[in-house]
Structure 1
Amino acid sequence: MGDILFLAHRMPFPPDRGDKIRSYNLLKALTDLAPVHVGCFGDTPGDFEHESELAAVCASYALLPRKKSMVRAGAEAVLSGKPVSLTAFEDVKLAHWVERTITEKNIQTIFVFSGQMGQYVPADFHGRVIVDLCDVDSAKFEAYAKDGSAPRSWIDAREGKLLASVEDRLAQRADHTLLVSDAEADLFRSRVKNTLTCNISVVRNGIDTIFFDPQNIVPQGEFAANNGPNLVFTGQMDYAPNIAAAERVMDRLLPKIRDRFPGAIFHLVGRAPVARLTRRDGEPGIRVWGEVPDVRPFLAAADLVVAPLEIARGVQNKVLEAMAMARPVLLSPEAATGIDATDGKHFAIGCDDADLILKAVALLGDGPASLIMAAAARRYVSEHQGWSAMLRPLVEICGYDASEADRNAA
């Protein structure tokens, strides 16, 4: 069946944020099918510290530092008429490596992880092309533009319009275009020009329930010193939807929750918090931790995990992680998208601020009910959201049959 060329906009190791968790698990699954050659970028020194792990799983690789600033990418994008997010990942060295790898290796399949990397697929490549968009980035930028103010809203509107064209062209080019949920797939179908010439499939996110197992984790020690209750939000904290969700808790939800529970503390746990979040650390009921070595002790110690995102694309790993850690989870309808669990049984959905406050107070005030929900959440993800089950469709998508894939994995 030949080798696979895997192109990712970020180094898949370590799998410590949403997109990297997905690319890491996709890469592992693909290496069970065939030799895989990986081309990707490293954003931080920490990415390069894990280069040996990348080398251990692939047949060859190119890991390049992404040095282009967003200011430079923006200027180049304006001059070229391209989206900024594509220009930011445009690199001559990687393009040459891709060309050389296709020439020298028996590449039969190119697997593109995230639309930014579609620019590296040669026009004359005649093998199988699979594009994992994950979610519809163009729609995300359109939402930013709608909710933002000038001049940023103009930039986001331009990005959304240009990305929509790029996504459509990729879908027409690819043998399979993958989205992370049925909702994202339906949204994408509504935006492409000709669905008859596109093969759009869903490969959902999973969760490693062995790694995220509360039985193996000691809860974060400082939480025990709080009168509580302790509310936790996790995520990449320079990402606009996460910033907005955190500020929603701080400004609109927490004060009302503290009216009922004066000792309630909101713990913000995640990498790279922006200045306007770090400045809030130490305000009544607010603790900004920033990056931590391991998020699991914080989840294990939480009385309630909250995810009130107002813009959310795809399946939220933060929600699956909290559910796997057997914690009660309160989330917005947007954050629940793509997770086929039941509101009121496996997690609680609040439709607006008032509803989120009401349900937070109810869960925090009823310990037995919260524990029942938490246990049901753990059972749900263990039975329905494991990565092996979620990625099983890759066998057919990549052109293998199940028996051949099992032989290769063995």
Structure 2
Amino acid sequence: MKNLLYLTHRIPYPPNKGDKIRSFHLLQHLSKHHHVYLGTFVDSEEDWHYIDEVKKYCRDVCVVGLNPLTAKAKSLIALLSSTPLTLAYYYNTQLMQWVKTLHKTRSIQNVVVFSSSMAQYVEYWTDCRRIIDFVDVDSDKWYQYAQSKSWPFSWIYRREAKYLLGYEKKIAHIFDHSTFVSKKEAELFQQLALDLTDKITFFNNGVDTDFFSPARDYANPYPDGKKILVFTGAMDYWANVDAVNWFAHEIFPAIRAKQPDVCLYIVGAKPAKQVQMLASLPGIHVTGAVDDIRPYLAHATIAIAPLRIARGIQNKVLEAMAMQKPVIASTQAMEGIRAISSEELLVAENAEAFIQYIFTLLDTNSRCLMVGQAARKRVLQDYTWPANLSRIDALLCPSLHS
């Protein structure tokens, strides 16, 4: 087996949120065919408990603590230059030294970088095969943020979008291949980097369909006699905060006015203050972190994904579909997910459509069941990890897959 360096901006465990789900399954897959050397950061205290878990898949690891306040200060200094703030945020001397030592003392044949911020550590390596999983076009995400914020944040985010795009193009040019989380995301980057289209590809996210299975017995976490709308996700992530605030104020009151037995549950760790405040509104419950998200999906009536800012594939949508739940998603939340609208899930373009679809599903149990069954079938067909991760094997060892 060849030696492989794997760099991630956050420890790839536990697989309980967007980037960690993808980075963990990628680590697990890579360890089957390579001796993996992992360099990564820990940015929350509880994640230090999981180092032994990632060591199971690695020959060696370098885990560095990242203090968000210190990292933000480093980013602010970068405002005086043309360096993307993201790179300054994730630069660390200790990790750089470990990478340099590894380069000198180990024969590293392959490098896989997870997210653009980590490419700086192997930017000048030329004696091995380098693959970067950008996941999303992060520069475009910053541009979306700029569109919805006032000055000075709009200026800062627009600046980050500009300089990060330049860096993304640079890395895509010098690396052997660049991957993204969906065909649509890859096509977006191809439009931004027309001279690199032959080096840009994608592999979809997957779902552990044995774990996210509706066939298991789950204790009901909800009160009896209620119809439940559920939103799941990391609730300190701004796109999720924006989504539930918009839904709670623009959509949910109309639902409650006609059906007061309907409740909205917002399920996810670290709810921001804006999210916590929603719990004071009639029918809205904010759980915070839960040990297992599956019961909240299994016993919900409808899963919602009303995101107005989104990039790549939304794991929350795939997990709900795998649990055989009818999902109502915004157009943005559906980017990158191949599913038949109105059959395998419902796509709402505005608040009025959300309201109409919710009432339709609440009033028709057979429609809920039909959409949920079709949703799980789609996940089983297109969104399993083994099938999707096999694409990266061909990039790392093209001679074996030609």
Same fold per TM (> 0.5)? yes
Report the Cα offset of residue 383 of structure 1. 2.3
Report the Cα offset of residue 81 of structure 1. 2.9
Partner of 1:129: 130
Alignment partner of 1:249 is 2:253: no
Partner amino acid, structure 2, of 1:377 = A
The structure-2 alpha-carbon separation of the partners of 1:259 and 1:401, relative to structure 1 and needing over 3 Å to count, comes to farther
Report the Cα offset of residue 328 of structure 1. 0.8
The whole-number CA distance in structure 2 between the counterparts of 1:73 and 1:290 is 30
Partner of 1:299: 297
Report the Cα offset of residue 107 of structure 1. 0.3
Alignment of 1:304-343 (within 5 A): 304-343=302-341
Partner amino acid, structure 2, of 1:50 = Y
Report the Cα offset of residue 76 of structure 1. 2.3
SS at match of 1:41: strand
The structure-2 alpha-carbon separation of the partners of 1:401 and 1:33, relative to structure 1 and needing over 3 Å to count, comes to farther
Q: Deviations over 1:296-320 (max 9, x none)?
A: 1111111000001111100100000
SS at match of 1:37: strand
Of all paired residues, the percent bearing the same amino acid is 35
Report the Cα offset of residue 150 of structure 1. 1.0
Partner amino acid, structure 1, of 2:86 = S
The structure-2 alpha-carbon separation of the partners of 1:201 and 1:193, relative to structure 1 and needing over 3 Å to count, comes to closer
> Structure 1 residues 80-89 or 141-150, which shifts more?
80-89
Report the Cα offset of residue 122 of structure 1. 4.2
Partner of 2:354: 356
SS at match of 1:339: coil
Partner of 2:66: 66
Partner amino acid, structure 1, of 2:46 = G
RMSD of the TM alignment (CA)? 1.6
Partner of 1:195: 196
Partner of 1:22: 22
Partner amino acid, structure 2, of 1:232 = V
Alignment partner of 1:171 is 2:175: no
Q: Deviations over 1:41-70 (max 9, x none)?
A: 011122110111111110111011112525
Partner of 1:206: 206
SS at match of 1:111: strand
Runs of 4+ in 1 over 4 A off after TM superposition: 400-404
TM-score in terms of structure 2 length: 0.96
Q: Deviations over 1:114-140 (max 9, x none)?
A: 010011014143211100000100001
The structure-2 alpha-carbon separation of the partners of 1:93 and 1:126, relative to structure 1 and needing over 3 Å to count, comes to same
Gaps of 5+ in 1: 405-410
Q: Contact conserved, 2:2 with 2:33, CA < 8 A, in 1?
A: no
The whole-number CA distance in structure 2 between the counterparts of 1:377 and 1:401 is 37
TM-score in terms of structure 1 length: 0.94
Alignment partner of 1:277 is 2:278: no
Q: Contact conserved, 2:339 with 2:378, CA < 8 A, in 1?
A: yes
Alignment of 1:29-40 (within 5 A): 29-40=29-40
SS at match of 1:190: helix
The whole-number CA distance in structure 2 between the counterparts of 1:307 and 1:125 is 42
Alignment of 1:362-377 (within 5 A): 362-377=360-375
The whole-number CA distance in structure 2 between the counterparts of 1:86 and 1:233 is 32
Partner of 1:139: 140
Partner of 1:186: 187
Partner amino acid, structure 1, of 2:205 = N
Report the Cα offset of residue 337 of structure 1. 1.4
The structure-2 alpha-carbon separation of the partners of 1:217 and 1:156, relative to structure 1 and needing over 3 Å to count, comes to farther
Q: Contact conserved, 1:168 with 1:193, CA < 8 A, in 2?
A: no
Q: Contact conserved, 2:241 with 2:274, CA < 8 A, in 1?
A: no
SS at match of 2:79: helix
The structure-2 alpha-carbon separation of the partners of 1:68 and 1:92, relative to structure 1 and needing over 3 Å to count, comes to farther
Partner amino acid, structure 2, of 1:92 = T
Report the Cα offset of residue 339 of structure 1. 1.3
SS at match of 1:82: coil
The number of residue pairs the alignment matches comes to 401
Report the Cα offset of residue 271 of structure 1. 1.2
Partner amino acid, structure 1, of 2:94 = K
Report the Cα offset of residue 74 of structure 1. 2.8
Q: Contact conserved, 1:260 with 1:361, CA < 8 A, in 2?
A: no
Partner of 1:6: 6
Report the Cα offset of residue 403 of structure 1. 8.5
